[in-house]
Chain A
């Protein structure tokens, strides 16, 4: 663990150095909102942002990806797996909540006997450089879910904006090694460390108060069949997938084949528990036929099934689902209602 200081005017130099050896993904502004995109020059980066609209999960887990292609030949069927070793990459400027989401995605994509090579290959060669949240949104609730605006989970290096300079902290061996290669860094002083701690206190104090969510999974289990409880939320849901598609921890996918008579490809694409088709059986039976059950699934999966199977809440409190919902469905209202039951 190393602690350094970087004057802000030196940042382009750091990015230039990174661009020499890595593919760099960073927040950029596009169509009026922020997304993580590949940058080619330091000036493309837009660090003055709250958080990206689309979570950076698609860098490791694209919306659509070919798993393998197949061709028919006289000898049989020839299958070519589409796993390409990825080039070394850096995600720069990622928020702590999104970095934490990768630790959940890591667990999901390596759960049980099988490791997902598509995700793993992209993930392995990628360094994560975070940018602490000094200006969390009112919809942010990371602190309620064991997170922090200065959280370090999942990151290799953390940058904290101290006004005219960054406090730069490496968090593991990979981070240490990378810091050694970067120009313009000077050792952090005791005063810098103090300033950072004070800033964190200030930021925490400015955040929307924590929502108590202890025992949430057992409470949810008890309420599983309470139709009235779920209806108060699902009533206004229009059943689109904005909340899940823009969620950094949602991982559900569909697998489809696209084929001609002689060749084809198997494709994985984002899917969502909010669509009726997600659970429609071949027989025509649908175990989650109404939006009540589908909304319940979204909540149960993150706050009950995740804690049970992975011993962690499947949400990082980024608040994207609240901001993006066309009808202002607010997951915090569910927590509040749980407190009252």
Chain B
């Protein structure tokens, strides 16, 4: 990955020097181990800040939609999932293709620092070194080596497009093939086999810890509404408390809003301070859209999203003839 990091820096620098872009949105080293943080580089001489490693898990597409970048030519570092989110934004008319230079990274899967930290507590990681297949951790009174593949983020294990389907340049030129064991579809099948009551219990238990901080919404590259339905006050659509009915209302409506759009990047789950895993819900919705409309989000900026368009071939058995 170090080799790719260097190529990425050179490419980004070139784009800045040639004034093809006004700024590069990428990742730099974070302030605590196993973390990177978004960074915004405008000067070619600052390019060495940019890093590329298995901790680059933020979805940077999020930033492109902010008003300050509206008229700027932006170069953005993207993984497969981020590129797909970008494509959805383009298909939905939020981002102009010509304003963005997409620097694609073949993604080997990001590591799950939250799980590592949680398993280690009360030990705290002070230094982390990551090699091709291992994670070496050091703390006050311990040293430990983990196998990287055992700590890949769940959303990366179930990823179907780790290489950006659309980009201006693929760093390194070589797509990476992933082969992780993933049990998301198995878990989904288990959930589907349950009775409605049991499924309801699953949803309410899963979401009962939600504190309504909206980190899931704000981290989501596709939750870009200028005014979210939960923030509308005239009228107020949804109760604001942490009563389970209010929580369910928020999460269910948000799930509907990302149906056929979600690229399963896992940003929501990663951002959640309460470790709520929304992936079974999002996977189910994407499966429905795939089954019914043969559509997967984020692959082609010229194809409008199925929920935002209509064709005569759309399945419509729910429309019944009046008797």
Residue from the list B31, B38, B63 in contact with A330, Cβ < 8 A: B31
In the complex, B243 has a CB within 8 A of chain A:
yes
Given contacts A323-B32, A326-B271, is CB(A240)–CB(B214) below 8 Å? yes
- Majority-rule SS of B interface residues: loop
Closest 6 CB pairs of A and B: A240-B215, A326-B271, A241-B213, A328-B37, A240-B218, A64-B241
Within B250-290, the residues touching A (CB, 8 Å) are 267, 270-271, 273-275
Stretch from A48-56, A83-91, A152-160 contacting the other chain = A48-56
In the complex, B73 has a CB within 8 A of chain A:
no
Residue from the list A50, A54, A63, A275 in contact with B231, Cβ < 8 A: A275
Task: Verify A235–B40 contact, CB threshold 8 A.
Answer: yes
Apart from A32-B118, A50-B122, A330-B32, 18 more pairs, CB < 8 Å: A32-B115, A32-B275, A50-B124, A54-B211, A64-B243, A135-B124, A139-B32, A236-B37, A236-B38, A238-B271, A240-B217, A241-B212, A241-B214, A242-B273, A246-B273, A269-B240, A280-B233, A322-B31
Fill in one digit per residue for A301-323: 1 if any B CB lies within 8 Å of its CB, else 0: 00000000000000000000011
A85 to B39 alpha-carbon distance, docked (Å): 51
Count of chain B residues with Cβ under 8 Å from any Cβ of A? Answer: 42
In the complex, B310 has a CB within 8 A of chain A:
no
Within B202-258, the residues touching A (CB, 8 Å) are 209, 211-215, 217-219, 231, 233, 239-243
Smallest Cβ-Cβ distance to A319: which chain B residue: B32
Task: Verify A245–B211 contact, CB threshold 8 A.
Answer: yes
Shortest C-beta distance, A59 to chain B (Å), equals: 15
Smallest Cβ-Cβ distance to B67: which chain A residue: A290
In the complex, A239 has a CB within 8 A of chain B:
yes
Count of chain A residues with Cβ under 8 Å from any Cβ of B? Answer: 46
A238 to B240 alpha-carbon distance, docked (Å): 20
Given contacts A64-B243, A327-B58, is CB(A49)–CB(B122) below 8 Å? yes
Within B1-60, the residues touching A (CB, 8 Å) are 30-32, 35-40, 58
In the complex, A115 has a CB within 8 A of chain B:
no
In the complex, B140 has a CB within 8 A of chain A:
yes
Shortest C-beta distance, B25 to chain A (Å), equals: 9
Shortest C-beta distance, B313 to chain A (Å), equals: 39
Task: Verify A238–B233 contact, CB threshold 8 A.
Answer: no
Shortest C-beta distance, B236 to chain A (Å), equals: 8
